[in-house]
Structure 1
């Protein structure tokens, strides 16, 4: 498989850059900001959703490192680097923790490489996250990740970017099949129990990103992705409620839609 080699089209919004703007970042363009404004008209609490999702990422990585002893992470569809990235959190527990980021957005790749240049225990690989064979064959992944030891695979707020035809559930299972028991998988994605919200946001994002989008799904779709994994407490939830550690962070919630998911452990397989 060939590594992704995309050219930045500044006339088309990017989900990664839109997310950056919602988090208060500066690595975005006017076209991304305009798309976010349209999104906020459909789902006004989307900024709260983005912030709560980022805090979830930070909490779950810390739990994996501190409580489960995970020292290897693969972040699929990692998005733009911002404060408190996966490697920064994991390396607070163990400076030797290793992190591989996967993304195919040219802006993400450029900024990620500049951030990671001086960190020998990290790498960013230019792949579509569905290219499992290419990713797992890459020399940098093989250099940093020892697949005889537990690994954490992160799919945080990315599977809704994949259409059903791309098989988001099959993607997770392909990755799980390569992990040893007691590895972990983190999955959360955008869901809503309101059909109008699901349809309106899906159509808006599909049009704005020129088809680089999947769909807003339902909680049952996420539960199906966790089939075969042992779901850790507190189960599959709105990620705002996943082991919250700060009242300040939880004061404002998203209403129209949520990030739904949790943490799954790869079980020991029957002999």
Structure 2
């Protein structure tokens, strides 16, 4: 558990592929002006982290909401609800479909205007031109991104990622760079204009959230940003997916 800025804590956890490779996962804790707290995403906290969270949140009673931002990140939702049962539980439409027995709120977090429901301390954005859920369940590109201006922290799952490879793979060009998730091509909506809408969304996000100073990503990376660094990150990431966007335009217009 690490404090990234005023009223924002990043929490890192384990996620092992095939029981071996630990790619990591995350959730974040945000304190609102009201004194209440919100979790971004769910994770089963170890005893030490849970004790620290309880110390901050009046034994957990001040946790007012849990906001699950990635439709395919569902492993820890039940534990999080059981640990903080009084908190309102938000998720995407797929969360409700996959875990129908949990008391989900009626408004999905990909809904336009979701920020108005949660409060002015957090901003949310979903990639335009893409499908949040595809028929192919291996496509995990789209998620709801969250920004906490007070701490200058962006919390994002998969949509932006940074692959940190062990030596000697760390010598490869893609190791260590921030990029859009490689499933973007399959996530783009199969219709004319989707590639342009995605590009415009990304540019707008880089501009609107340009003052961010921290970028915390699932699965295992936190990056400190220089002034206007997020806009630069977005620009470079868009440059690398230009062939994907061009191919989509050739196919759909």
Greater helix share, structure number: 1
The normalised TM-score by structure 2 is 0.37
Larger RCO: Structure 1 or Structure 2 (Cα < 8 Å, ≥ 6 residues apart)? Answer: 1
Greater strand share, structure number: 2
